[in-house]
Amino acid sequence: MGVNFRKILIPVDFTTNSNTAITRALDFCANEPVHLFLVHFHLQVPVGDIGAYYFYPGLNLRRQKVLEGILSQKFKEILDHIPLTENMCIETAVVVTTKVEDGIVEFSTRHNIDLVIIGKRKNHIIFPFLNTVVPSRIASGTGIPVFTVRSGAAGNPIRSVVVAVGRVFPDRKIEMLDALRDRFNFELNIISIVERKNLVAEAKKVLHEVVSRYKVRFNGKINSELFIASNKARALLDHVQTIKADLLIVSPFSETKLTWTGTHISDEVSSQSGIQVLAVRPV
pLDDT bracket for residue 89 (50, 70, 90): very high
d(CA 13, CA 41): 8
The alpha carbon torsion through 65, 71, 75, 80 (nearest 10 deg) reads 110
pLDDT in tens, 123-175: 544 333 334 688 999 999 999 999 999 887 877 889 999 999 987 888 889 98
pLDDT at position 279 over 90 = yes
pLDDT at position 83 over 60 = yes
Q: Please, are residues 199 and 171 in contact by the beta-carbon 8 Å criterion?
A: no
Measure the N-to-C terminal CA separation of the chain; round to a whole number of Å. 13
Q: Top-level CATH class of 7-149? A: alpha beta
pLDDT in tens, 5-41: 999 999 999 988 889 999 999 888 877 889 999 999 9
Nearest to 28 by CA among 83, 82, 88, 112: 88
Once rounded to an integer, what is the mean pLDDT over residues 250-262? 87
Domain 160-279 fold: Rossmann fold (3.40.50)
CA dihedral over 261, 123, 176, 189, signed as positive or negative: negative
pLDDT at position 51 over 50 = no
Query: Which residues, 6+ apart, have CB-to-CB distance to 214 below 8 Å?
Result: 174, 177, 188, 190, 222
Domain boundaries, the chain: 7-149, 160-279
Domains 7-149 and 160-279 share a fold: yes
**What residues does 118 pair with on adjacent strands?**
148
Return the pLDDT at 47.
47
Which ranges constitute the DSSP H helices of the chain? 16-25, 61-79, 100-110, 135-142, 171-181, 200-215, 232-243, 265-268
**Average pLDDT across the chain, whole number:** 84
